[in-house]
């Protein structure tokens, strides 16, 4: 088997006294795309926050490229090569499109992605580089959010609910662009409510239910029935 | 002619008030921190200027070159070691801690320098003036202070909207979590913002000490002027802060022209009237 880039080992995550994840374990291999599915409140976003360092945990619960990162700050983890396209895009409203992208590259990691590369991937952003990021349509804002994550040349890229609140045609074009994004040797975790999309794009899938992994398997091997069971717990 | 003179002097005084306010505005804009010790830090800078001036025997205006970097380092350290720990969802801890800081600075200065009012002398420039038609005389020093205020605010504006630091300030101000995800360490970004604010405080403090006498308890008064200038101009708008300072200065001088006892009162009344009519100030930043 290929090298493991991210290993989550018995992760328990808490918001104050509230426990959101119970002993979650996952491995993501180099170059692999993983889908994480699950109902609202199953712990998907908590998982993302734990991997990126917005929630801190016991150091050894999250390992990235062999280093324990569970206890590090988000900016330290970003510098090591994990980037996220956050749920709801969350662009910086006071910054222009180009400034949003530049801030994404702030950690100074070198690699294939640069402003020019992002503008080539999403030409419409080049036309609007000096506009306020809030003046863009939802789909264009999502492109900025993806470009901003790419600017750090991550080894692992997390997509948190990128289809949320977008028109179906926009979702389609965003997903069509994704292979070109991830195909450059990156690994990715795609968190998605839209199960069909998630299964189509990923190599393997994990389903979360009430903070626990309820299903794990190859995306083309798990059946609809298995997913329904794992998703709803029936 | 006295009235015209009062207005012109008021405008020039407004520059100093804008310097008091700029750091306050910057800090609030970047990290939503209301720094109650801001006025005391201005007075601290004035005392440091006094020490540097008397020790080295130089013009107080030149002491800015030493006091400003020192205050900048102090600001960075203060933010990293103390103030960052108070920031969070609750707005009360930073208010309480900076209030405590204010008490500590005042009493520390009282212990070191005594309660005697002090004044720095900048030499001939203090009394130099330029004559205008109509028998008006404008002091060179007030003009220098006003010009400095304009330059300082212009530079802050440039840093905020055109530089990498400013990008980090704005991104962190917009969304601390996401900024952290982009590799910006917010503790460091906040430290830089406080450093920048205290460099401006140093300039304001030295000018204060040259223009008028000061003592360890002078801080809270300067804080009020700073707050008023910021609120009149609109939160988060640096040029608005300059206008706010000018309005405050002009109103104070017109009040003094009517009756010398009304100087401070006139400024406060103008502030309250503007607050009542435009609660967000004259030029609020447009944001969502």
DSSP symbols for B179-212: HHHTT--HHHHHHHHHHHHHHHHHHHHHHHHHHS
Helix (H) or strand (E) holding B80: helix B64-81
Q: Is the pLDDT of residue A206 over 90?
A: yes
A152:B182 CB<8 A: yes
A86:B181 CB<8 A: yes
A115 touches chain B (CB under 8 A): no
Mean pLDDT score of chain A? 91
Please answer whether residues B14 and B246 qualify as being in contact, where contact means their C-beta atoms are separated by less than 8 angstroms. yes
pLDDT value of residue A103: 95
Q: Residues of B with CB below 8 A from A79's CB? A: 183
Q: Residues of B with CB below 8 A from A76's CB? A: 185
d(CA B224, CA B252): 13
A86 touches chain B (CB under 8 A): yes
Task: Give the pLDDT band of residue B92 (cuts 50, 70, 90).
Answer: very high
β-pairing, A82-85 vs A62-64, is unpaired
CA atoms within 13 A on the CB side of B37: 25
Percentage above 70 pLDDT, chain B: 99
d(CA B154, CA B172): 22
CA A16 to chain B, closest CA, distance in angstroms equals: 14
Q: Is the pLDDT of residue B123 over 70?
A: yes
Strand order in the sheet with A33-38: A82-85, A156-160, A187-191, A33-38, A204-209, A212-218
Average pLDDT over residues A91-118: 92
In chain A, which among 5-64 make CB contacts under 8 A with chain B?
A: 52-54
Residue in B169, B170, B182, B190 to test binding to A, most A beta-carbons within 10 Å: B182
**pTM for the structure as a whole:** 0.92
Q: Which residue has the higher pLDDT, A180 or B130?
A: B130
d(CA A91, CA B74): 33
β-pairing, A156-160 vs A187-191, is parallel
Task: Give the pLDDT band of residue B274 (cuts 50, 70, 90).
Answer: very high
Q: Residues of B with CB below 8 A from A74's CB? A: 177, 180-181
Q: Residues of B with CB below 8 A from A108's CB? A: 183
Which residue ranges form the domains of chain A, and what is each CATH number? 4-232 (3.40.50.300)
Closest in B173, B180, B287 to A74, CB measured: B180
A224 touches chain B (CB under 8 A): no
E strands, chain B, in order: 129-132, 136-139
Closest in A52, A94, A99 to B181, CB measured: A52
Q: What is the 3-state secondary structure (H, E, C) of A60-91?
A: HHEEECCEECCCCCHHHHHHHCEEEECCCCCC
Task: Give the pLDDT band of residue B286 (cuts 50, 70, 90).
Answer: low
Interval A143-158: pLDDT, tens: 999 999 999 999 999 9
Q: Is the pLDDT of residue B288 over 50?
A: no
Closest in B170, B180, B288 to A75, CB measured: B180
CA B215, B218, B219, B220 torsion-angle sign = positive
CB atoms within 10 A of CB A234: 6
Q: Is the pLDDT of residue B211 over 60?
A: yes
Closest in B168, B183, B288 to A78, CB measured: B183
Residue in B178, B191, B192, B238 to test binding to A, most A beta-carbons within 10 Å: B178
A95:B168 CB<8 A: no
3-state secondary structure of A56: coil
B175:A90 CB<8 A: yes
A79 touches chain B (CB under 8 A): yes
d(CA B222, CA B207): 12
CB atoms within 10 A of CB A223: 9
Average pLDDT over residues B224-249: 93
pLDDT value of residue B2: 85
Closest in A54, A79, A134 to B183, CB measured: A79
A160, two tokens:
């948190």
d(CA A110, CA A103): 14
A215 touches chain B (CB under 8 A): no
List Cα–Cα distances, A29 to A53, A58, A103, A155, B232, in angstroms.
20, 22, 28, 11, 57
d(CA B28, CA B40): 17
Please answer whether residues B134 and B5 qualify as being in contact, where contact means their C-beta atoms are separated by less than 8 angstroms. no
d(CA A95, CA A88): 17
A95:B180 CB<8 A: no
Which residue ranges form the domains of chain B, and what is each CATH number? 2-121+139-277 (1.10.3470)
B183:A107 CB<8 A: yes
B288:A99 CB<8 A: no
- Return all residues near B275 (Cβ < 8 A) that are at least 6 apart: B231, B232
B185:A93 CB<8 A: no
3-state secondary structure of B118: strand
Supply the DSSP symbol for B215: -
Q: Residues of A with CB below 8 A from B167's CB? A: 95, 99, 102-103
Average pLDDT over residues B127-150: 91
Q: Is the pLDDT of residue A1 over 60?
A: no
Q: What phi and psi, each to the nearest 5 degrees, are found at residue A210?
A: 50, 45
Interval B7-39: pLDDT, tens: 999 999 999 999 999 999 999 989 989 999 999
Q: Residues of A with CB below 8 A from B173's CB? A: 94
Q: Residues of A with CB below 8 A from B174's CB? A: 92-95
Closest in B175, B185, B186 to A92, CB measured: B175
Task: Give the pLDDT band of residue A174 (cuts 50, 70, 90).
Answer: confident
Among the residue ranges A163-177, B69-83, B144-158, the one predicted with the least confidence is A163-177
Task: Give the pLDDT band of residue B156 (cuts 50, 70, 90).
Answer: very high
CA A88, A37, A175, B176 torsion-angle sign = positive
The whole-angstrom distance between residue B207's C-alpha and the CA centroid of its chain comes to: 11
Task: Give the pLDDT band of residue A28 (cuts 50, 70, 90).
Answer: very high
Q: Least CA distance to B178: which residue of chain A?
A: A90
pLDDT value of residue B51: 97
Q: Least CA distance to A135: which residue of chain B?
A: B288
Closest in A74, A79, A92 to B170, CB measured: A92
Q: Is the pLDDT of residue A101 over 60?
A: yes
Q: Is the pLDDT of residue A57 over 50?
A: yes
Q: Residues of B with CB below 8 A from A113's CB? A: none
């Amino acid at each position: 088997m290929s090298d493991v880039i991210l290993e989550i080992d018995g992760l328990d995550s808490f918001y104050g006294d509230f426990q959101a994840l119970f002993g979650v374990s996952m491995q993501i291999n180099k170059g692999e795309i993983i889908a994480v599915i699950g109902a609202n409140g199953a712990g998907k976003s908590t998982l993302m926050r734990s991997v990126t360092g917005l929630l801190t945990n016991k150091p050894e619960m999250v390992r990235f490229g062999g280093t324990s990162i569970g206890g590090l700050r988000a900016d330290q983890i970003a510098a090591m090569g994990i980037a996220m396209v956050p749920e709801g895009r969350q662009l910086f409203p006071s910054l222009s499109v180009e400034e949003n992208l530049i801030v994404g590259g702030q950690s100074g990691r070198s690699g294939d992605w640069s402003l020019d590369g992002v503008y080539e991937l999403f030409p419409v952003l080049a036309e609007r580089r000096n506009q306020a990021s809030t003046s863009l349509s939802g789909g264009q804002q999502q492109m900025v959010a993806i470009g901003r994550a790419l600017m750090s040349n991550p080894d692992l890229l997390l997509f948190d609910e990128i289809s949320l609140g977008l028109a179906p045609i926009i979702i389609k074009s965003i997903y069509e662009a994704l292979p070109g994004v991830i195909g450059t040797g990156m690994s990715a975790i795609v968190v998605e409510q839209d199960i069909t999309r998630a299964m189509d794009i990923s190599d393997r899938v994990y389903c979360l239910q009430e903070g626990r992994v309820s299903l794990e398997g190859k995306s083309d091997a798990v059946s609809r029935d298995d997913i329904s069971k794992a998703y709803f717990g029936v | 002619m006295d009235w015209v003179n009062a207005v012109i002097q008021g405008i020039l005084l407004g520059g100093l008030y804008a310097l008091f306010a700029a750091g306050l505005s910057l800090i609030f804009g970047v990290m939503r921190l209301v720094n109650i010790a801001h006025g005391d830090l201005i007075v601290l800078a004035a005392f440091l200027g006094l020490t540097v001036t008397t020790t080295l025997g130089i013009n107080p205006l030149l002491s800015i070159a030493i006091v400003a970097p020192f205050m900048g380092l102090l600001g960075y350290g203060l933010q990293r070691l103390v103030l960052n720990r108070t920031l969070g969802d609750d707005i009360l801890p930073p208010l309480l801690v900076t209030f405590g800081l204010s008490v500590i600075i005042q009493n520390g200065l009282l212990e070191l320098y005594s309660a005697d009012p002090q004044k720095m002398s900048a030499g001939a420039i203090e009394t130099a003036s330029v004559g205008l038609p109509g028998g008006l005389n404008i002091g060179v020093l007030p003009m220098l202070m006003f010009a400095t205020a304009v330059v300082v605010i212009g530079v802050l504006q440039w840093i905020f909207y055109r530089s990498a630091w400013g990008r980090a300030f704005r991104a962190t101000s917009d969304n601390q979590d996401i900024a952290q995800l982009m590799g910006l360490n917010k503790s460091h970004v906040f430290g830089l913002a406080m450093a920048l604010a205290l460099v401006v405080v140093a300039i304001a403090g030295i000018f204060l000490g040259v223009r008028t006498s000061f003592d360890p308890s002078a801080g809270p008064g300067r804080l009020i002027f700073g707050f008023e200038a910021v609120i009149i101009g609109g939160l988060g708008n640096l040029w608005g802060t300059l206008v706010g300072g000018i309005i405050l200065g002009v109103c104070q001088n017109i009040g003094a022209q009517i009756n010398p006892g009304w100087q401070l009162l006139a400024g406060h009344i103008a502030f309250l009237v503007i607050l009542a009519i435009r609660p967000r100030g004259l030029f609020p930043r447009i944001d969502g």
